[in-house]
Amino acid sequence: MLNAGVLLNSMDDILRRALGETIELETVIAGGLWNVHVDRNQLENALLNLAINARDAMDGDGRITLETNNASLDDAYATVHEEVTPGQYVMIAVSDTGTGMSDDVMARAFEPFFTTKPDGKGSGLGLSMVYGFVKQSGGHLKIYSEIGHGSTIKMYLPRVHAMEDVSRPAFEGAATGAPKPCSSWKTIRPCARRPSTCWSNWATTS
């Protein structure tokens, strides 16, 4: 069991080193965040992959926002997204201020070896690995993007009611820095408007 907010806090240094000095990094962690039951190393790798993809989408200059919140995916949302089981989830979003993705690119973003990067600049496996991790964890992955306005990739991981295991060394930052409080949870329903008007803009390219 782990708390995604604590994990994000513990990854701050490694994320800043990976992204470089020209990238502004913002982390917003909801108060009262629920726990999830996932492999912490795979979650760390997923977050690092998403952050690096976001950096590349901005051509090395811009802002990346990492956000966590509690979310309830209801029956109406599950009707639109057949792979979703209605219930309570922890949402982890990675957003960038990059160029955004077209509908065609979004439709193929999770395909293995698909990439929009120049030859030699990317394997096309980053997002497909994130997709596989989220699916094997019983979660849901969603892209929101608009050309010229950046993209957001949201991971929804199922909530568990067990307490976090803080005895493991992976959470060295657990005793420092309380998460930044914000609204504790929200219900997600399908929206008839454009994604950019319904969700926070956060983007990435594979």
Inter-residue contact 145 to 101 (CB < 8 Å): yes
**What confidence score (pLDDT) does residue 185 get?**
42
Nearest CA-CA partner of 141 in 117, 62, 151: 151
For residues 86-106, give the mean pLDDT: 93
Q: Is the dihedral of CA 66, 70, 74, 78 positive or negative?
A: positive
Per the prediction, the chain carries an average pLDDT of 80
pLDDT of residue 105: 86
**128: pLDDT confidence band, cut at 50, 70 and 90?**
confident
Q: Any idea which of 10-24, 48-62, 145-159 has the lowest mean pLDDT?
A: 48-62
- Dist. CA 104–CA 74, nearest whole Å: 28
Please give the average per-residue pLDDT across 11-26, as a whole number: 94
